[in-house]
Amino acid sequence: MWRQFETSFAGPPKHEAAYRIQDDGTGMLVSFMASKTPLELKMSFLDFIVEGLWRADCGELWLYSPSTGRYIEINVAPNGAWWACVFSAPRLRDEECERPKCDTTRADSKSGWLSTIYVSWDEIRRCLQSTEDLHANVTLILDGCPDVDPPLENLHSAVKLGAVDFHRPHEWVPLADLM
């Protein structure tokens, strides 16, 4: 089931956009769809795993284990480029934990884009040290998010957050609520 992003941090979204989370028993497939021509970063095929995708169009999955305090951020761009990071606390990267391995697909149309990212439950468990009682958020950036003064209408969150900051795992909801 596709779920619409109904608001941005500045009110109604400028573009129609949605996400879908599917559990196939061995992992999660997360899809993002937007009805606009994608704004993409310029990169070569050698840079397919790249940090900073949020500076252009990018869908993001956030998974949090309340029992361990660890969370994962997984980003996917319209062209299928992806990046992921494991955090041991808000904005504190776990430099010793290898990022989860993910697979992506993409599709373009004249009226928008569709990208998916797949991550196995084994990878999630390895990174979070648990898959019990996972909490999550799904976010979407359309038209980019510069390092300074990001346009709030470009930032979308499935979970209502208390501040313009996606790194707020204590505010995320049970994963099942987003599926």
CATH code for the domain in which residue 95 is found: 2.60.40.1190
Structural domain span for residue 124: 3-178
Q: Could you report how far apart the first and last alpha carbons of the chain are, in Å?
A: 8
CB 93: neighbour CB atoms within 10 A?
Answer: 13
- pLDDT of the residue at 42: 63
- pLDDT of the residue at 141: 93
- pLDDT of the residue at 161: 95
Task: Divide the 179 residues of the chain into consecutive groups of 10 and give the mean pLDDT of each group.
Answer: 92 92 96 85 58 89 97 93 94 95 82 92 96 96 85 94 95 96
| Pairwise CA distance, residues 140 & 117, whole Å | 14
| Pairwise CA distance, residues 106 & 81, whole Å | 9
- pLDDT of the residue at 45: 47
- pLDDT of the residue at 105: 86
Q: Give how far Cα 52 sits from Cα of 55, 81, 128, 146, Å.
A: 6, 11, 22, 10
- pLDDT of the residue at 46: 44
**How many structural domains compose the chain?**
1
- pLDDT of the residue at 23: 96
